[in-house]
Amino acid sequence: MSDVQSWIKETVTQNPVVLFMKGTAQFPQCGFSGKAIQLLKASGAENIVTVNVLESPDVRQGIKEYSNWPTIPQLYIKGEFVGGSDIMSEMYASGELQTLIKG
């Protein structure tokens, strides 16, 4: 396992809510990342760890390989890959995202 893959695994397993996104929570660099942050906050998520993939091409590519998912943002809750902003929207609408975060 590469250093980047090891770092990603450590990050998602040691933090309850991790969002790999373009930009930061305070200044998202794409609409999908901005929507993901809004959904997390609306769901009651606290202490969200965000990783700005624009700061590292290795992390940007590495997270896609780690999850076998081609797009960013990517949400991890308790070490498990949840999905991107579309999946988060569906889960929020059904109440599943809030349950997962509070669980």
Binding residues for [2Fe-2S] cluster: 30
3-state secondary structure of 41: helix
Q: Please, what is the Cα angle at 76 between 14 and 62, to 5 degrees?
A: 85
Give the DSSP H or E segment for 94: helix 85-94
Binding residues: 30
